[in-house]
Structure 1
Amino acid sequence: MSIQPPDPSPRPASPSSGIRASHDDREAVVERLRDAAVEGRLDPDELDTRLERALTSRTQGELAALTADLPRPEPAEEHPPLVLKGGIFGASRGPGRWDVPRKVTAHGGVGGVKIDFSRVECRLAEVEVEAYGETSGVTIVIPDGWAADTGGMDPGTGGLRDGTTSDRLPGTPLIRLTGSGGPGGVVIRHPDDRERRKLAKNPERD
């Protein structure tokens, strides 16, 4: 029986390899490379080299080559959307550990709503928080190292107060804030001094 020689023709490229990369495509690879460096998979010099190539890549195939030797990120567990409504006694979620969905909707109502992400572990790239201040307002607290995009928020008559910084750490979610401040307003910030003392006193509290 004769043995057939291997086919010398190259394998066809992935259908998407030649597609032009977008800014979001490049940013996703940059985030993944930074995460890999934090995990110790890339040394600083290799990270710099790959980041430079990522930012100048023109196609999805070029981007894919930069992460081909890295493990695929595990998909985040999906949780149903969360809706909070501020009744007479208000409503809150956190600061204990809780499962963060991709979307949270908060209606301040007559009692107000507070959403506290201080103790959560979230592997999502983005979390949408749709907040309506209504009568008593909505307050959102995010940990240091998380960042917020408030460009889609209508401040309304109560206004929007953004006390967050833009120093986002690799592997942390972006809080994309939408909705309207209404009369009560919306506040998004990092923990205040009192909340920090409580976090320091009970760092593992559920």
Structure 2
Amino acid sequence: MGDTHQQHQPVPLHPDQMRVSHDEREAVVERLNTAAAEGRLDFSELETRLDLALNAKTYADLAPLTADLPQEAPAEPLVLKGGVNGASRTGHWRVPAQITVYGGMGSVKLDFTQTECRLPEIAIEAHGQTGGVTIVIPDGWAAETSQMSPGLGGFRDKTTSERLPGTPRIRLAGGGGAGGVVIRHPNSWERRLQRRNQER
């Protein structure tokens, strides 16, 4: 009887045999597309690898598809302080996985609308202080804001909950302070600016 019992013991899985998620498949697809754009893969090789990535079930299926591609070094965490005159990060900039912003007296604006970001998640710690903080994220990005405290200036989340595949999730924490914190999608002026830059 003892032998029979032992046969039913679950065998621990090797990490390579663990199942992959939709987000992990998407991240590999993004990396392959980038590699092709850089001239590292030709079209037929890209097609083959994309097909394998989309049908991958385990890490063992995914890992070989990017093993011969250089890994992108993660960007250093960003700390942005409004100080007296204010500060902003707009246009094309490299987005790190961790960002801390202090509104200071002059306010801070973080604008992601023209960035190319392949991170699955971005953690932002925002402190409105006196000047306040404004965060602008593209349509299709979603924000998790349950860790924000409103403070005196308040906190406003004007984003939609719809998240498109392959886009980052913003995890926002911190406090509104006296100036408040706002996270929103682009306004009409920012959309026009974005379209103009894409047409160039």
Q: TM-score, normalised by structure 1?
A: 0.69
Could you tell me how far apart the structure 1 residues matched to 2:165 and 2:72 are?
Answer: 16
Match of residue 58 from structure 2: 64
One-letter code aligned to 1:145: G
One-letter code aligned to 2:23: E
Q: Which runs of 5+ in 2 are unaligned?
A: 1-10, 34-46
One-letter code aligned to 2:100: T
User: RMSD over aligned Cα, in angstroms?
Assistant: 3.2
Could you tell me how far apart the structure 2 residues matched to 1:35 and 1:81 are?
Answer: 20
One-letter code aligned to 2:138: P
* Residues 131, 177 of structure 1: 8 Å contact kept: yes
Mapping of 1:64-103 within 5 angstroms? 64=58, 67-68=61-62, 71-72=65-66, 75-94=71-90, 96-103=91-98
- Note the C-alpha offset of 1:202: 2.5
With over 3 angstroms needed to count, the CA separation of the structure-2 counterparts of 1:69 and 1:83, relative to structure 1, is closer
Could you tell me how far apart the structure 1 residues matched to 2:98 and 2:158 are?
Answer: 21
Q: Is the counterpart of residue 135 in structure 1 residue 135 in structure 2?
A: no
With over 3 angstroms needed to count, the CA separation of the structure-2 counterparts of 1:65 and 1:197, relative to structure 1, is closer
Q: 2:198 aligns with which of 181, 184, 203?
A: 203
- Note the C-alpha offset of 1:42: 5.1
Instruction: Give 1 or 2: higher helix fraction.
Output: 2
Match of residue 188 from structure 1: 183
Could you tell me how far apart the structure 2 residues matched to 1:110 and 1:192 are?
Answer: 24
Match of residue 60 from structure 1: none
Could you tell me how far apart the structure 2 residues matched to 1:140 and 1:201 are?
Answer: 21
One-letter code aligned to 2:92: R
Q: Which runs of 5+ in 1 are unaligned?
A: 1-11, 55-62
With over 3 angstroms needed to count, the CA separation of the structure-2 counterparts of 1:102 and 1:33, relative to structure 1, is closer
* Residues 149, 174 of structure 1: 8 Å contact kept: yes
* Residues 123, 173 of structure 1: 8 Å contact kept: yes
Match of residue 24 from structure 2: 32
Could you tell me how far apart the structure 1 residues matched to 2:110 and 2:88 are?
Answer: 6
Could you tell me how far apart the structure 2 residues matched to 1:117 and 1:65 are?
Answer: 31
Could you tell me how far apart the structure 2 residues matched to 1:66 and 1:17 are?
Answer: 5
Size of the alignment, in residue pairs? 170
Match of residue 155 from structure 1: 150
Could you tell me how far apart the structure 1 residues matched to 2:12 and 2:157 are?
Answer: 46
Could you tell me how far apart the structure 2 residues matched to 1:68 and 1:202 are?
Answer: 35
The one-character-per-residue Cα deviations of 1:100-132 (angstroms, maximum 9, x if unpaired) are 111111100110000001111111111111100
- Note the C-alpha offset of 1:180: 0.5
Could you tell me how far apart the structure 2 residues matched to 1:34 and 1:79 are?
Answer: 20
Could you tell me how far apart the structure 1 residues matched to 2:83 and 2:26 are?
Answer: 43
With over 3 angstroms needed to count, the CA separation of the structure-2 counterparts of 1:169 and 1:64, relative to structure 1, is same
With over 3 angstroms needed to count, the CA separation of the structure-2 counterparts of 1:136 and 1:68, relative to structure 1, is closer
Q: TM-score, normalised by structure 2?
A: 0.71
